[in-house]
Structure 1
Amino acid sequence: MSSRRRSNNSRFTQDEINDLVLKLQSLLPNSSSRCTSRASSSSKILEETCNYIRKLHSEVDDLSEKLSQVLDSADTNTVDLVDTLLTLLQQ
């Protein structure tokens, strides 16, 4: 599949969809232990992907809450340091 963008009314071929789903599966944890044949249904892979994204969102929320708690109990210098570090990481 080419790297150029498709217009909204473009259609993907079944082979392109299968290729994209397999690429998506490779991004999931433990995907190397899974069967990469067509036996793994696209719907199952998409369902696993959605579950994994939900799990990541939950982890981000938990970590954000913990960071907020730490910052609430920290002194001003520590908060400034964390803010600087976060800014540097986003660059």
Structure 2
Amino acid sequence: MSSRNNRGSGFTQDEINGLLLKLQALLPDPTSRCTRVPTSKILEEMCSYIKRLRREVDDLSERLSQSLSSMDSDELNADFLRSLLQQ
């Protein structure tokens, strides 16, 4: 087991490498998981991915809000919501 680094982060290099591998596994591009990728590249890709997900959530929330505001309360049911969320 490697010793604690002297920078005061509280994580060993092995722990940091393990966390980076977990982050890399969450990225949608499977090709980046097969090769050694610099830490900065993994972090850049993760930031971009999170930004894309936020935009997608905002877009879906807006679509849901518009759909719900345009319908009568009688029309609102579980089947409609399921179909909307599957789009």
TM-score (norm 1): 0.68
Any gaps of 5 or more consecutive residues in structure 1? 1-8, 87-91
Question: What amino acid maps onto 1:21 in structure 2?
Answer: L
Contact 1:22 1:36 in 2 (8 A): no
How does 1:6-45 map onto structure 2 within 5 Å?
A: 11-30=10-29, 32-38=30-36, 40-45=37-42
- What is the aligned-residue identity percentage? 56
Aligned to 1:89: none
Distance 2:71 2:42 in 1: 43
**Which structure exhibits the higher relative contact order, with contacts defined as CA atoms closer than 8 Å and separated by 6 or more residues?**
1
**Number of residue equivalences:** 73
TM-score (norm 2): 0.71
Contact 2:24 2:33 in 1 (8 A): no
Does residue 1:71 correspond to 2:68, yes or no? yes
Post-superposition shift, 1:49? 0.5
Post-superposition shift, 1:58? 0.3
Moved over 4 A (4+): none
Any gaps of 5 or more consecutive residues in structure 2? 1-7, 83-87
Does residue 1:48 correspond to 2:45, yes or no? yes
